[in-house]
């Protein structure tokens, strides 16, 4: 059976062509699901809520499980209020919104490992925001939030804790240590939001220069890639569809954004892994 992986949708799933139920056993979103977003913000409107419900229903109606890995543009407060449940040996959250439960959507807000169909996956949430060039505003800094909603999340003054930014956004080292200490299989595929450090520094050199190196989360991911050499690694976060070659010590790595890469029978399809849609 086939599992598809795509990148950051930022709350707008209708912008891409989703596989049908006949094509996909499941879909993994590699971070920045973005539904909902900013529920505690004074600027979150009824229209926002209606759109979020409509898009959640659209995804749920696709008819297959969707595993949404948490990124750095995901509402950790909203997800933290959702019910935890075990899928295999590890916990995810059952997606619910405004009192309605969506049975086909799972939030991965902590590392998860297990089988999806006949394939073994390791899913790792978290990343550090690239737009935190100043201290985030206080939670009740409404003026800061006004700037946020006017400029989306590309303005350096727009991230406000518990409104549009969550300080626990990065890879959780203790949660990673726990799952690596308990996982009893070698994953066929690793999916994360951020990338291992040796990949991230090539994607975002300006950020690396500004902050003096890779993030702690990216360094943790690099250690995992060395633990599982040659295991295909798919990540989002950098808003590009691009692949990296591998050498003897590094895993093959693919960044997804609009593309859908698919894994079948425990292997990444080579065509989908290496090809990049030039029209994107």
What is the structure's pLDDT at 105?
A: 98
Q: Can you give the pTM of this predicted structure?
A: 0.89
What is the structure's pLDDT at 119?
A: 92
What is the structure's pLDDT at 156?
A: 41
What is the structure's pLDDT at 164?
A: 80
What is the structure's pLDDT at 270?
A: 54
Check if the beta carbon of residue 192 is closer than 8 Å to that of residue 215: no
How would CATH label the architecture of 2-128+166-274?
4-Layer Sandwich (3.60)
**Which residues touch 111 (CB under 8 Å, ≥6 apart)?**
90, 122, 123, 124, 125, 172, 175, 176, 178, 179
Alpha carbons within 13 angstroms on the beta-carbon side of residue 199 total 33
Burial (Cβ within 10 Å: 0-12, 13-18, ≥19) of residue 147: middle
What is the structure's pLDDT at 266?
A: 61
Q: Domain extents for the chain?
A: 2-128+166-274, 130-164
Give CA–CA dist 59/144, Å, rounded. 32
Region of 126 (left: φ > 0; alpha: ψ -120 to 50; beta: rest) is left
Q: pLDDT in tens for each of the 280 residues of the chain?
A: 799 999 999 999 998 999 999 999 999 999 999 999 988 877 788 999 999 999 999 999 999 999 999 999 999 999 999 999 999 999 999 999 999 999 999 999 999 999 998 899 999 999 998 766 554 455 456 565 555 554 444 444 466 777 788 889 999 999 999 999 999 999 999 999 999 998 888 876 666 665 677 889 999 999 999 999 889 999 999 999 988 765 555 667 889 999 999 888 766 765 566 665 544 3
């Amino acid at each position: 059976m086939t599992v598809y992986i795509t990148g950051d949708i930022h709350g707008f799933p209708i912008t891409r062509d989703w596989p049908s139920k006949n094509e996909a056993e499941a879909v993994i979103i590699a971070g920045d699901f973005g539904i909902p977003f900013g529920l505690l913000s004074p600027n979150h409107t009824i229209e926002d809520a209606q759109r979020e419900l409509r898009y959640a229903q659209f995804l749920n109606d696709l008819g297959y499980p969707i595993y949404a890995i948490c990124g750095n543009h995901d509402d950790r407060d909203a997800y933290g209020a959702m019910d935890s449940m075990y899928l295999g040996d590890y916990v995810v959250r059952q997606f619910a919104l405004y009192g309605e439960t969506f049975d086909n959507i799972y939030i991965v807000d902590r590392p998860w490992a297990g089988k999806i169909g006949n394939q073994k996956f390791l899913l790792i949430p978290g990343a550090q925001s690239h737009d935190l060039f100043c201290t985030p505003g206080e939670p009740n800094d409404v003026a800061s939030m006004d700037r946020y909603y006017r400029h989306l999340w590309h303005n350096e003054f727009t991230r406000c804790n518990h409104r549009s930014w969550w300080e626990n956004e990065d890879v959780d080292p203790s949660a990673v240590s726990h799952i690596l200490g308990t996982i009893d299989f070698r994953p066929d595929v690793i999916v994360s939001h951020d990338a291992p450090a040796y990949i991230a520094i090539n994607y975002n050199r300006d950020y690396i220069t500004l902050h003096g190196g890779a993030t702690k989360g990216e360094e943790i991911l690099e250690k995992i890639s060395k633990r599982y050499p040659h295991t295909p690694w798919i990540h989002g976060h950098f808003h590009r569809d691009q692949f990296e070659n591998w050498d003897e010590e590094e895993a093959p790595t693919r960044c997804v954004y609009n593309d859908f890469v698919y894994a079948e029978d425990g292997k990444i399809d080579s065509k989908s892994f290496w090809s990049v849609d030039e029209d994107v």
